[in-house]
Structure 1
């Protein structure tokens, strides 16, 4: 009997403990469960990793192209400006003929020599760089330098040349106009006497013509001679043709173009007027 009571007491205590255990579990801290953790983020593939901002590559350093100098004059060009180039080249001893006013082979050769001496490209063309260098080394040529070999435009005819048949000779432009009734038939370069044997100025007439004349005073040929004042005549001069204005006559009017004076000689008549003026 006593054993039965003790067993029941033990059972009751066990039951109470069980109830207490349930009660605590119900109202107390819940039974420990595995802690919930956020799922580990999936690792992005390497190629999805944000990369550092790209640094723009520095462009390769390049030099600006050197502009090509502008060509001012070249072979075949003509005119007063070409005469100046030639006259300045003569001043620095790169050209020994002319000026002719035509940019010819001799001018090309002279420009190449000038350029090469100064380290410039030897093109033979006068570009802006070559021209500036030439300007710094020379002075502005005078009228006689520009027309050292002739080619100057004929001066305006003297009023006395405007009627009849006239050999109209200008000392200013160093030209002769053959004129008929105010119309110019032909023009040609001429030269005159030196200060010691000057060509006389004024109005004259052709006294006589001599196709194969030889000077009795100087013993020199005077072909196609047309005398107008004593021993002074208009005639062809081989010396003028060869040396240009580096020389002078003994008072005559020298013509250097043989073809032109031959044609003139065939047209002029004795008695035609000759006007020599400044």
Structure 2
């Protein structure tokens, strides 16, 4: 039987083990060890409670996205094309000025003719393309303004470089009979019969060193296939009126216009027209050369 003292000793030992976390051996009542006593010294404080979870139902309703698109800005209408002033097929003095200005900047080499032909259309198209304008071949207000800024106002002879200028009023000496009425101021020849103009042709005259004589003359000789021995040049459809001076066709005039001059003769550039005139004019018909 254990004594009261022995029980108290065992109790004290157990308390010491619990406090210090030691491993002790159990002692039997008779004082003999009975094996190790394992004491769990893990903190026995209660664990913190898990965080409270709300029992309220989760709001799964999604806020609808704003799918309304901002109104698109209206597209501005394309600008209207500039007004067209002249186009292929047109004719007149304004077309002649257009051609004269195109000649100044080497876009056109023929004319001016006063007719908006294929060559004029090609020249306008080239001018437009060089300046980044729509290549329409027609002359609109934008094209015309660009051309005006790059050229000068053409003079009378620029406009009528190849002939075709308006004829002056006929000289009083031309109003009766059959007359070749030739005006130096307008560079034209009128074929007139009794005051009526039958034909008007552009003509070219002699230079300052070889001027065409002025006055009243008569046709005294006609030579259809004439060749000048003095200048070694052809003078087809020649109608002589004063010494070696004659009205005749000139291929140089046809090619160069008023950039050249004759040796005193009256040059005609339209071969078909002078061929017809040659057939109508007679020896003895009057010739009047005037300003």
| TM-score, normalized by the shorter chain, greater than 0.5 | yes
Q: TM-score, normalised by structure 1?
A: 0.77
Q: 1:107 aligns with which of 109, 120, 126?
A: 120
Aligned-residue offset at 1:173: 1.5
Report matched runs for 1:109-124 at 5 Å: 109-124=122-137
Deviation at 1:187, TM superposition (A): 1.4
Larger radius of gyration: 2
Q: What is the TM-score with the length of structure 2 in the denominator?
A: 0.74
From 80, 83, 104, the equivalent of 1:70 is: 83
What is the match of residue 25 of structure 1?
none
- 2:148 pairs with 124, 135, 142, which one? 135
Q: Secondary structure of the equivalent of 1:187?
A: strand
Which structure 2 residue ranges, 5 or more long, are not aligned? 1-67
Higher helix share: 1
Q: 2:96 aligns with which of 83, 91, 101?
A: 83
Aligned pair count?
A: 224
Q: CA RMSD in A?
A: 1.6
Tell me, in whole angstroms, the C-alpha distance in 2 between the residues paired with 1:86 and 1:153.
Answer: 17
After TM superposition, what 4+ stretches of structure 1 lie above 3 angstroms from structure 2?
Answer: none
Aligned equivalents of 1:65, 1:99: Cα separation in 2? 36
**2:246 equivalent to 1:246:** no
Q: Quote how far apart the aligned CAs of 1:224 are.
A: 1.2
Deviation of 1:142 after TM superposition, in Å, equals 0.5
CA-CA distance at 1:185 after TM superposition? 1.3
How much does 1:242 deviate? 2.0
Q: Would you say the 8 A contact 2:129–2:135 is kept in 1?
A: yes
Distance, in Å, in 1 between the alignment partners of 2:255 and 2:101 is 22
- In the TM superposition, what is the alpha-carbon distance from 1:58 to its structure 2 partner? 4.6
Distance 2:101 2:93 in 1: 13
CA distance in 2, matches of 1:233, 1:172: 19
Q: Which residue is equivalent to 1:208? A: 221
Q: Structure 1 regions of 5+ residues with no counterpart? A: 1-54
